[in-house]
Amino acid sequence: MPPRTMKDVKRVGHDLRPTVHVGKDGVTDTLVDELAKQVKARKVVKVRLLPSVEQDRKEVAEYLSERSGSVLVEVVGHTVLVCDRKYLEGKVDVDF
């Protein structure tokens, strides 16, 4: 299978529901650990930034992806899409 493109990952992520929510407490170590665990298990994870998050959405998204060891795919509104590096490189084959 050829390496996946960002477009392919966006297509997969489009139908996903957010499974991680960032609230008024912001980004905590527990939240980052949960995101890393979900990225490893699901390969593509959608994160919802609640309106109570006071920081810039793109900065929070970049920080989350960096700390969880994932790749930031896109930020649309209050929704962030991240994926596993190996999944993006095509080294892991997963059916959704």
CATH class in words for 6-84:
alpha beta
Alpha-carbon gap, residue 32 to 28, rounded angstroms? 6
Q: Which amino acid is at 33?
A: D
pTM here? Answer: 0.88
Single-letter residue type at 51: P
CA separation for the pair 95, 35 (Å, rounded):
20
Please report, in tens digits, the pLDDT of each residue of the chain (96 residues total). 455 788 989 999 999 999 999 998 999 999 999 999 999 999 999 999 999 998 999 999 999 999 999 999 999 999 999 999 888 777 655 544
